[in-house]
Amino acid sequence: MTPEMPEIIFSTFDFERIGALLALGFFFGLAFEEYFSRNRVKPPGGVRTFPLLALIGALLYALDPDRKFLLIAGLVILGLWLAIYYRERLTSGLLATDDKDDESTQLDGGIMAPVCNLIAFLLGPITLTSPLWLPISVTVFAVLLISARERLHNFAATLRDGEIVTLAKFLIIIGIVLPLLPDTPVTSLTDITPYQVWLAVVAVSTLSYASYLVQRFVAPNHGVFISAALGGLYSSTATTVILSRRATDATQDASALQSAIVLATSIMFLRILVVVGVFNLELAGILLLPLGVLCALGLATSYAIRQMGGARDGSKSDASPPANPLEVTTAITFAGLFIILSVGVAWAKAQFGEEGLFLLGALAGVTDVDPFVLSLAQGAGALNLHAAATAILVAASSNNMLKAAYTLTISGRQRGLKPALTLFALAATGLVTAYVILQHP
């Protein structure tokens, strides 16, 4: 050991980090012993072993902080010992018993114990060299995974075919495709770049996927109203069609479904505000009051319909959209609509002025309002913000008229009249609000 070595070791350690190291090792050991408490023969590790392993890892790092040869050697020796121990344990029949149903006598042949020992050892150098939030996060995450064994296994059992593939699609959309796209315009027809196009896809897909996950795993059977609210975050049009079809069934609670249809549209106004706010806070500020008023009116009317009909939110609901929102074709279709409407916005503004923009908004409302809203939020054609806000309200009103027509057509006059009149009223209010914004910027 060189004369400078004690000084290096002393500078590496401090009481705060050593205290945190030992506390994390002890906490990790407690969770480990609780996890293996039902085993008659407990694997190595626990409240005494883990703090010592973490301390050894820290000492080996401190003795050779530059080359880290001692730390690597210690990790290899620990790994070899764990491998030998488990090989002997699996082949020696230490837990041989005639009672095959007794969990306490069953041999744990998994790798949870050796992995936990390796994590405990590595907590030492991690605690010495990283901000304290990192070793704390690693320990807490490991403890949560250990403690949630049964819940995680039960959760895995509830997954439908394709759920993991769906998550993989989401990760591809946000983590692979987006960073690879150029952030420069590729045509003179619009200032929108491929990166902005896919960023719009990411924004809407994230909101839709979050709503899908809540409906799928958090509140799958919590009633038609929760499903309608979440459906409004996903697609108020799709939710309206599904609820209208249910309303044709005489055994269904008509007032509950009528109220839920209005609720889905009320949440749509919040979705538009959130989507706009992600890309253009100034435009969102202009839309905050009108969209907030429209949402409040919709919620109040939905509540009134519910109370007048004596609806009770106690039955299971199938109001959630049946298809997962992250199909590749859906993303491609959305991107295509976004590009077309972005070019259309610039063209309509150049050829017809603001009036052309409002006409395009009315047409966009009968297809998908989100691509049009996002093209305006990202500033296609350097639009006047008040004109953009007016066009968004026109598109939302057009979409509400479409949903009102769907409701009357599918549910019939008797069951579809109340929600249809409400949606028409919200559409008219939106148009009046759009006119006021345009006349008084």
Domain ranges of the chain: 5-156, 162-439
Looking at residue 56, its pLDDT comes to 92
Q: Note the pLDDT of residue 107.
A: 47
The reported pLDDT for the residue numbered 258 is 85
Distance (Å, whole) CA 233 – CA 371:
15
pLDDT digit string (tens) for the chain, length 441 residues: 455 554 544 445 577 888 889 999 999 998 888 887 766 667 788 888 999 999 999 999 988 888 889 999 999 999 898 888 877 777 765 444 444 444 444 445 567 888 889 999 999 999 988 888 899 999 988 888 887 766 766 666 666 666 677 677 777 777 777 788 777 776 666 666 777 777 777 776 776 677 677 666 665 555 677 777 777 777 787 778 878 877 777 666 778 888 888 998 899 899 889 888 888 888 888 999 999 999 999 999 988 988 886 645 444 444 444 455 555 566 666 677 667 767 776 676 667 666 777 888 788 777 778 778 877 877 644 567 888 888 889 989 988 998 888 888 888 888 888 888 999 999 999 999 888 887 776
State the pLDDT at residue 426: 92
Alpha carbon distance 302, 223 (integer Å): 15
| Spatial distance between the Cα atoms of 160 and 324, rounded to a whole number of angstroms | 11
* Entry pTM: 0.60
CA distance linking residue 422 with residue 302, whole number of Å:
9
Q: Show the tokens assigned to 120.
A: 């405990």
User: 57 Cβ partners below 8 Å, 6+ apart?
Assistant: 71, 74, 75, 120, 121, 122, 123, 124, 125
Please check whether residue 358 is in contact with residue 394, taking contact to mean a CB–CB distance below 8 angstroms: yes
Q: Residues 197, 332: contact at Cβ < 8 Å?
A: no
Cα(323)–Cα(327) distance, rounded to whole angstroms? 8
Number of residues in the chain: 441
What is the structure's pLDDT at 318?
47
Which pLDDT value is given to residue 231?
73
Write down the pLDDT at residue 198: 76
Whole-number pLDDT of residue 313: 45
To the nearest 10 degrees (0 to 180), the angle between helices 69-92 and 112-129 is 170
Q: Which helix (H) or strand (E) holds 265?
A: helix 254-279
The two tokens of residue 330 are 């859906």
Q: Give me the pLDDT at residue 329, please.
A: 62
Separation between Cα atoms, residue 84 and residue 79, nearest integer Å: 9
DSSP element (H, E) containing 53 = helix 49-63
> According to the model, what pLDDT value does residue 288 have?
92
For residue 154, give both structure tokens.
């039960």
Cβ atoms of 194 and 339 within 8 Å: the answer is no
Please spell the DSSP secondary structure of 331-380, one letter per residue.
HHHHHHHHHHHHHHHHHHHHHHTHHHHHHHHHHHTTT-HHHHHHHHHTTT
Considering Cα of 110, then 113, then 115, then 116, what sign does the dihedral take? positive
Neighbours of 140 (CB within 10 A): 14
158: left (phi over 0), alpha (psi -120 to 50) or beta: alpha
Among 150, 155, 140, 152, CA closest to 31: 140
Please name the residue that has the structure tokens 């009320």: 266
Q: Which one, of 106, 95, 116, lies nearest residue 46 by Cα? A: 116
